[in-house]
Amino acid sequence: MITIDEWKERLESEKCYDLVCEIYDRIEKSKLNAYITLCKDLALKEAEKYDKGQKSGKLAGIPIAIKDCISTKGIRTTCGSKMLENYIPPFDAHVIENLKREGAIIIGKTNMDEFAMGTTTETSYFGVVRNPYDLSRVAGGSSGGSGACLGGDEAVLALGSDTGGSIRCPASFCGVVGLKPTYGLVSRYGLIPYANSLEQIGPMACSVKDLALLLEIIAGKDERDSTNAGREFKFEYCSKKFKVGIVKEMGGNEEVNSRFEEAVEIIKNMGFEVGEVSMPSFKYALAAYYIIATGEASSNLARYDGVRYGFALEELDSWTKYFSKVRSLGFGEEVKRRIMLGTYALSAGYYGKYYLKALKVRTLVKRDFESALAKYDLLISPTMPALPFKIGELADPLTMYKMDVNTVPINLAGIPALSLPAGFIKSLPVGIQIMGNYFEESKILSFAMDLEKVFKEVF
């Protein structure tokens, strides 16, 4: 794992061009399948510019990987789907504009679950992403490529997107840091949506310090996203001994729980006040999440009809037959399953029974968080209830959905949450989740920074 400081140190004596070449050599030999599209020519040109002293900014010369659901002007953006296999966006996402302004070098577009629908990156049209610590296991999802490329030294920074845990899960599985920002902190302009009301683009990195810097750069005002809060983010370290609450309803299997308990002991020993909170609404959260997410998705994905861009058929037919065929051939199984689920949930006669109920649960989850965060500065839990799975292990969709149990309540409420590595169990990474109040990313990052130091020594 390469931090920005380490990369910068090497830049003092070596050429950026050579360092970037080294990254591409590693990617080309890699078995991780972290990338869908590489932009080597472009990246090397940028590296050369850096060597000539023509690049400036906070991320000048730093290689970054971008999840393939974030639009990049002139660079293919597939969303992990056959449907967008040949789609080249004519515009940059807000976050990409910011990265370019700060001089970052885009290495490529990372592999992901098709349209971000998955927890393992097994639903990608471009093949599964393998875990950098065990090639027979998954890297998590849906931002699996972004997690794996950091774990495998194939980039220094990465962007992911998180609709129900899609940044935190691969961060946990790949032993890196990942943050889902407060809803509205980072503009979604250019993010190809899965479930608009739940998701945020977020930073992934090899250290909390790098994560904070990347968040500063991608956050901020953007009028093109009406749900953007119009706030800038500036990380301010705070050494306060926060009050930390353990969420009773969030847990994991035995291995995960025992590591989490060890972590709690360490936190106590560090002088933080630790208590327990209960969130009664959480037992409905997973169901509510899947209704809202698939409902929005069923509508978002309606535009892929083979008319304007992406996957199209050679043979023409009547309109109804044509678009039906395009959609049955262009989408994968999991995507079709979620479109069907969402369509059903929004249908006349079921809307009140499912969708409106789900919105009510959402309100309850928000309230539970609000009252817990009135008592505690931060909340903690294991990020994932289990260690990285074997590829193909989660064949049953419902078992897979259940893996999101600790992560989805955060998206329902819109609060920020970070996954921090807490060492390894049987050589596999494990992560703990730190949650905070709206726009209190600085608290989360400060706490994570303190823990990071200790965890590295202990675990």
Residues that bind other proteins (CB under 8 A): 70-71, 77, 79, 84, 87, 89-91, 93, 188-193, 195-197, 223-227, 295-296, 298-299, 301-305, 307-309, 316, 319-320, 323, 343, 346-348, 351, 355
Q: Least distance (Å) from other proteins to the CB of residue 305?
A: 7
Please name every residue paired with 389 in a beta bridge, in sequence order, or none if there are none. Answer: none
Q: Least distance (Å) from other proteins to the CB of residue 36?
A: 15
Q: Least distance (Å) from other proteins to the CB of residue 68?
A: 11
The reply to whether omega before 142 is within 30° of 0 (cis) is yes
The span from the CA of 212 to the CA of 56, in Å, is: 19
Q: Least distance (Å) from other proteins to the CB of residue 285?
A: 18
Nearer to other proteins, 54 or 227 (CB): 227
Contact at 8 Å (CB) between 152 and 132?
yes
The answer to whether residue 142 is catalytic is yes
Listed in sequence order, the residues at least 6 apart from 2 whose beta carbon sits closer than 8 Å to its beta carbon are 153, 156, 206
Q: Least distance (Å) from other proteins to the CB of residue 326?
A: 11
Burial code of 305-319, b = ≥16 C-beta within 10 A, e = fewer? Answer: bbeeebbeeeeeeee
Beta strands 428-436 and 378-382: pairing type? Answer: antiparallel
Residue type, 309: Y
Q: Which of 67, 180, 209, 443 is catalytic?
A: 67
Nearer to other proteins, 195 or 394 (CB): 195
Q: Least distance (Å) from other proteins to the CB of residue 83?
A: 10
The answer to whether residue 328 is catalytic is no
The span from the CA of 236 to the CA of 239, in Å, is: 10
The answer to whether residue 30 is catalytic is no
What is the maximum span of the chain, computed from C-alpha positions, in angstroms?
69
Contact at 8 Å (CB) between 70 and 159?
yes
Which is nearest to 146 in space by CA: 122, 129, 128? 129
Contact at 8 Å (CB) between 387 and 403?
no
Catalytic residues: 67, 142, 166
